[in-house]
């Protein structure tokens, strides 16, 4: 069998995706996404501008302590400023300080932008590109050149756009990434331009497409057909304005339909759970009609469609749902979701037979009906599995709690205090604590009660807290789903709670988080 052509996947969810209106990934979110991208087998993870903000700088510090099997961390930057050499440009000093594995440098590839935005000569822009790439290569970095507005520039002045690529190639760039920055080029135009670049230059070609025309995925696939060897995009198509090319759809199409090699084939079946996890961390619903990974992607209504699918799924399904980790929506059986449950259980070192899987699935479906979502809350899923199998014994029991929120008359400061009573075996503890808000006060009070018995909790802290309204139409009476991320010196984990009362939902997630920490400590 002939070896498949490898297409290198380059993820920019943490940089371009984070520029989506309404999305603000926390540091812990970014670390979780990066770790999962590595587990999926993605070769390059673009982490952001090292000089942009403290969060990105701290991300680079933390990421150096993580051991990745596959991924290389890429720092993003732009060509050096006119009138300043790369060695004296503060942005490059910041980039090199974070010690990335590679750098992606954006530079102008359109004479219009050179004239109207940079306001320098075309020749001076070529020098910026060449000097920047040459300088970073001298520092031992792998360097990708993002040719900004390449397609607009190519259609306006093809010779100059190609000269910009040539300047990067001559300076030693490892890939020339053609960017449809405005998202206005159509797939056949992109294919023609990529063919021209392929026939003119020898450096590997990358493609970076925005979705303003609704054709980002199609344009990306067309570019690969024309010779692009690197694909840049984001999970769920997040990105500025209308977003970027959706890597979930790109990877699935390239691997399952076009005969290319992207990430390891066995990991394609993790696409749907990963897409849902990222959507939870982004705190926005994954559209149910998202290709391949959406909840409705393989859902069939009653009638002749459903009848045909029962007889032969090929009649109305373009691929097998499980090949991307999804499921057929109309079927409810003992086997539905079995592979996903077993895979997650194996990662938790939990063994289950067929009867146990059936019990877990029943409990899982009942919980999801009430609004729970476990794709972004593996910690609560582990608790659910162990409770269902009867192998879990609670470490403590709540006897009562009270939360008081007061506004101080003189200062206007909001003051939160929680009082809590818990029982641990024959021992009863009653404590009170203050906090920055009701949940923080509740967390502090619970820890104060438990730490004398479980001192390992001193090593644990809450790092992120998210609330999602489950039914906006219900207004203030709507149920909410709370996600809490905690970490200790060894790992981080996320738990979930659902209730019509945000405090109760927070309590449920908090209890799962603490119980999981104690469970793991006792298992050592």
- Residues 484, 513 contacting (CB under 8 angstroms): yes
- Which of 331, 351, 374 is at the close of a domain? 331
Same domain, 152 and 162: yes
- Show the CA angle centred on residue 369, arms to residues 365 and 373, nearest 5°: 75
Q: How far is CA 1 from the centre of its chain?
A: 34
| 123-132, 435-444, 499-508: which is most confident | 123-132
Gap between the Cα atoms of 73 and 54, Å rounded: 17
DSSP 235: G
* 146 φ/ψ sector (left φ>0, alpha ψ -120 to 50, else beta): beta
Report how far apart, in Å, the C-alpha atoms of 140 and of each of 102, 354, 511 are: 9, 53, 48
289-302 exposure pattern, b = at least 16 Cβ within 10 A, e = fewer: ebbbbbbebbbbee
Residue 469 lies inside a defined structural domain of this protein? no
Same domain, 221 and 244: yes
Residue 80 lies inside a defined structural domain of this protein? yes
Residue 337 lies inside a defined structural domain of this protein? no
- Beta partners for 441? none
Tell me the HSE value of 505 on the side-chain side, using a 13 A CA sphere. 24
Output the CA torsion 86→91→96→101 (10° steps).
-100
Same domain, 288 and 252: no
The residue-averaged pLDDT of 133-157 equals: 97
Residue 446 lies inside a defined structural domain of this protein? yes
The residue-averaged pLDDT of 105-113 equals: 97
- Which of 434, 453, 472 is at the close of a domain? 453
Gap between the Cα atoms of 332 and 330, Å rounded: 7
Q: How confident is the model at residue 307 (pLDDT cuts 50, 70, 90)?
A: low
- Residues 430, 421 contacting (CB under 8 angstroms): yes
Same domain, 287 and 143: no
Gap between the Cα atoms of 75 and 61, Å rounded: 12
Q: Report residue 348 as tokens.
A: 């938790």
pLDDT at 137 over 70: yes
- Residues 442, 497 contacting (CB under 8 angstroms): no
In the chain, the number of structural domains is 3
More confident position, 149 or 375: 149
- Beta partners for 215? none
* Residue 275, helix vs strand vs coil: helix
Same domain, 112 and 34: yes
Residue 2 lies inside a defined structural domain of this protein? no
Same domain, 251 and 131: yes
State the CATH number of the domain containing residue 69.
3.20.20.70
Same domain, 212 and 287: no
Containing 97, the helix (H) or strand (E) segment is helix 90-97
State the CATH number of the domain containing residue 318.
4.10.430.20
Gap between the Cα atoms of 441 and 419, Å rounded: 9
More confident position, 327 or 166: 166
Token pair 């749907």 in the structure block, residue: 272
Q: How confident is the model at residue 285 (pLDDT cuts 50, 70, 90)?
A: confident
DSSP 118: I
Same domain, 206 and 323: no
The reported pLDDT for the residue numbered 413 is 82
More confident position, 364 or 145: 145
Q: How confident is the model at residue 333 (pLDDT cuts 50, 70, 90)?
A: very low
Q: What is the pLDDT of residues 468-503, one digit of tens each?
A: 888 755 544 568 999 999 988 888 899 999 999 999
397-421 exposure pattern, b = at least 16 Cβ within 10 A, e = fewer: eeeebebeeeeeeeeeeeebbbbbb
The reported pLDDT for the residue numbered 57 is 86
Percent of the chain with pLDDT over 90: 68
Same domain, 249 and 297: no
- Beta partners for 414? 407
Q: Which residue, 71, 37, 30, is CA-closest to 53?
A: 30
* Residue 262, helix vs strand vs coil: coil
Q: What are phi and psi of 426, to 5 degrees?
A: -90, 0
pLDDT at 340 over 80: no
CA end-to-end span of the chain, whole Å?
Answer: 46
The reported pLDDT for the residue numbered 51 is 75
- Beta partners for 232? 10, 208
Residue 376 lies inside a defined structural domain of this protein? no
The residue-averaged pLDDT of 313-329 equals: 87
Range of the domain at 238: 8-262
The reported pLDDT for the residue numbered 476 is 47
- Residues 392, 385 contacting (CB under 8 angstroms): no
State the CATH number of the domain containing residue 441.
3.30.160
pLDDT at 156 over 90: yes
The residue-averaged pLDDT of 317-336 equals: 70
Same domain, 159 and 273: no
Q: How confident is the model at residue 367 (pLDDT cuts 50, 70, 90)?
A: confident
pLDDT at 521 over 90: no
* Residue 105, helix vs strand vs coil: strand
Token pair 């942009």 in the structure block, residue: 52
Percent of the chain with pLDDT over 70: 93
Residue 352 lies inside a defined structural domain of this protein? no
- Residues 422, 405 contacting (CB under 8 angstroms): no
Q: Report residue 460 as tokens.
A: 């644990």
- Residues 375, 496 contacting (CB under 8 angstroms): no
Residue 344 lies inside a defined structural domain of this protein? no
Q: How far is CA 498 from the centre of its chain?
A: 23
Gap between the Cα atoms of 39 and 41, Å rounded: 5
Same domain, 178 and 315: no
The reported pLDDT for the residue numbered 470 is 82
The reported pLDDT for the residue numbered 215 is 98
The reported pLDDT for the residue numbered 306 is 58
The reported pLDDT for the residue numbered 337 is 55
> What DSSP string runs through 464-493?
EEEEEES-GGGGGG--EEEEEEEE-SS-EE
Same domain, 111 and 243: yes
* Residue 229, helix vs strand vs coil: coil
The number of residues in the chain equals 524
Q: What is the pLDDT of residues 191-236, one digit of tens each?
A: 999 999 999 999 999 999 999 999 999 999 999 999 999 999 999 9
pTM for this structure?
0.74
Gap between the Cα atoms of 501 and 196, Å rounded: 60
- Beta partners for 103? 75, 143
Gap between the Cα atoms of 306 and 111, Å rounded: 55
More confident position, 143 or 53: 143
The reported pLDDT for the residue numbered 301 is 52
Q: What is the pLDDT of residues 51-107, one digit of tens each?
A: 777 888 889 999 988 989 999 999 999 999 998 999 999 999 999 999 999 999 999
Report how far apart, in Å, the C-alpha atoms of 509 and of each of 82, 388, 390, 503, 514 are: 52, 17, 20, 10, 9
Q: Report residue 357 as tokens.
A: 């899987």
Q: How confident is the model at residue 334 (pLDDT cuts 50, 70, 90)?
A: very low
- Which of 453, 473, 493 is at the close of a domain? 453
| Mean confidence (pLDDT) of the chain | 90
């Amino acid at each position: 069998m002939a070896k498949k052509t490898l297409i290198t996947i380059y993820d920019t969810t943490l940089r371009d995706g984070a520029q989506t209106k309404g999305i603000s990934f926390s540091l812990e979110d970014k670390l979780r996404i990066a770790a999962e991208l590595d587990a999926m087998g993605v070769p390059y993870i673009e982490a952001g501008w090292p000089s942009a903000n403290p969060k990105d700088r701290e991300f680079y510090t933390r990421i150096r302590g993580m051991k990745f099997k596959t991924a290389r961390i890429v720092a993003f930057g732009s060509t050096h400023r006119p009138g300043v050499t790369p060695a004296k440009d503060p942005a490059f000093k910041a980039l090199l300080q974070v010690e990335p594995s590679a750098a992606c440098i954006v530079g102008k590839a359109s004479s219009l932008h050179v004239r109207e935005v940079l306001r320098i000569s075309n020749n001076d822009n070529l020098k910026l590109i060449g000097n920047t790439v040459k300088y970073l290569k001298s520092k031992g970095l792998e360097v990708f050149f993002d040719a900004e507005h390449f397609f607009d520039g190519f259609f306006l002045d093809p010779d100059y756009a190609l000269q910009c690529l040539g300047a990067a190639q001559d300076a030693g760039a490892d890939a020339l990434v053609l960017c449809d920055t405005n998202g206005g080029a159509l797939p056949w135009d992109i294919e023609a331009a990529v063919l021209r670049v392929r026939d003119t230059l020898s450096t590997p070609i990358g493609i970076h497409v925005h979705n303003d025309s609704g054709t980002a995925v199609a344009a990306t696939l067309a570019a690969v057909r024309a010779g692009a060897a690197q694909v840049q995009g984001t999970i769920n198509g997040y990105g500025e304005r209308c977003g970027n090319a959706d890597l979930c759809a790109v990877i699935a199409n390239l691997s399952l339909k076009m005969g290319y090699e992207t990430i390891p084939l066995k990991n394609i079946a993790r696409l749907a759970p990963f897409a849902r996890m990222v959507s939870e961390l982004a705190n926005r619903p994954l559209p149910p009609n998202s290709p391949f990974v959406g909840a409705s992607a393989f859902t069939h209504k009653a009638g002749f469609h459903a009848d045909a699918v029962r007889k032969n799924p090929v009649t109305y399904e373009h691929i097998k749902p499980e090949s991307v980790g999804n499921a057929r929506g109309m079927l409810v059986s003992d086997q539905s979701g079995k592979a996903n449950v077993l895979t997650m259980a194996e990662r938790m070192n939990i063994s289950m037979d067929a009867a146990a899987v059936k019990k877990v699935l029943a409990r899982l479906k009942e919980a999801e009906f009430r609004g729970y979502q476990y794709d972004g809350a593996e910690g609560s899923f582990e608790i659910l599995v162990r409770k269902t199998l009867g192998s879990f014994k609670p470490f403590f029991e709540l006897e009562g709690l009270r939360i008081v929120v007061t506004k101080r008359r003189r200062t206007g400061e909001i003051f939160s205090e929680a009082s809590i009573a818990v029982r641990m075996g024959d021992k009863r503890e009653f404590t009170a604590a203050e906090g920055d808000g009701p949940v923080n006060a509740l967390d502090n009070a619970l820890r104060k009660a438990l730490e004398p018995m479980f001192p390992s909790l001193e090593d644990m802290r809450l790092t992120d807290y998210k609330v999602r309204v489950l039914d906006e139409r219900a207004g203030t009476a709507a149920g909410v789903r709370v996600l809490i991320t905690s970490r200790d010196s060894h790992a981080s984990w996320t738990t979930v709670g659902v209730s019509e009362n945000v405090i109760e939902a927070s309590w449920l997630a908090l209890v799962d988080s603490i119980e999981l920490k104690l469970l793991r400590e006792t298992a050592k």
